[in-house]
Amino acid sequence: GDSVTQMEGPVTLSEEAFLTINCTYTATGYPSLFWYVQYPGEGLQLLLKATKADDKGSNKGFEATYRKETTSFHLEKGSVQVSDSAVYFCALSDTMYSGGGADGLTFGKGTHLIIQP
Amino acid sequence: GAGVSQSPRYKVAKRGQDVALRCDPISGHVSLFWYQQALGQGPEFLTYFQNEAQLDKSGLPSDRFFAERPEGSVSTLKIQRTQQEDSAVYLCASSQVEREQFFGPGTRLTVL
């Protein structure tokens, strides 16, 4: 079955540091890949997505590139801020955008990011 | 426009009680999903509706869990005879078909 593995947290960085959160996946087909963010006390929000190999998703200074050869979708940001402190989830869908119907997302366990001033 | 809303936001139940959790999706969204998120874990898929049809319920952990969406809009997740292992945050998401899912704030269920 499908699965997503992401680095365990918490990850603690100083403000303006470079961020990488690793995510690798296992899927049967050509999945679409997502990063969701959960700020304290709020619901899950879509941060960025990529629907095919070599696509780069980007939003709010965050980027992730869909690497089919390494089955990875690592999240990066060049200079983090205190306001980026949150839990980040990598997720995939086997059928979204593929014409295969719809299915639930498969999520990783989440990575808690703490940015210190 | 309004996002996905869920009620109640918090629910405390005694073991053995039945609970009902409500989800109001974004207006016009055909697809509706329920997820269960245990403490420190990622959300896990429970069930999926397209309009009023429940097309996938493969993630429901037992026959004590039941979901419905009778008019293709509001959905209710019902848990009968709650047990301690049912304690979790229950998330609802809605979407256009095959598009991004938008999540509600969740209902935190605590079973004592």
The yes-or-no verdict on residue B65 having pLDDT over 80 is yes
- Give which of B30, B31, B100, B108 to mutate to test A binding, by max A Cβ within 10 Å: B100
- B60: Cα separation from own chain's centroid: 10
User: A96: how many CB neighbours lie within 10 A of its CB?
Assistant: 25
Residue A102 and residue B91: Cβ atoms within 8 Å? Answer: no
Q: Residues A106, A88: contact at Cβ < 8 Å? A: no
In B, which residues are within 8 Å of A98 by CB distance? 98
In A, which residues are within 8 Å of B91 by CB distance? 43-44
pLDDT tens-digit map of B68-94? 999 999 999 999 999 999 999 999 999
The yes-or-no verdict on residue B96 having pLDDT over 90 is no
Residue A44 CB-density burial (10 A; 0-12 exposed, 13-18 middle, 19+ buried): buried
The predicted pLDDT at position A98 comes to 52
Residue B100 and residue A46: Cβ atoms within 8 Å? Answer: yes
d(CA B16, CA B64): 11
At residue B21, what is the residue type? L
Is A98 in CB contact (< 8 Å) with chain B?
Answer: yes
The predicted pLDDT at position A94 comes to 80
Q: Residues B111, B80: contact at Cβ < 8 Å? A: no
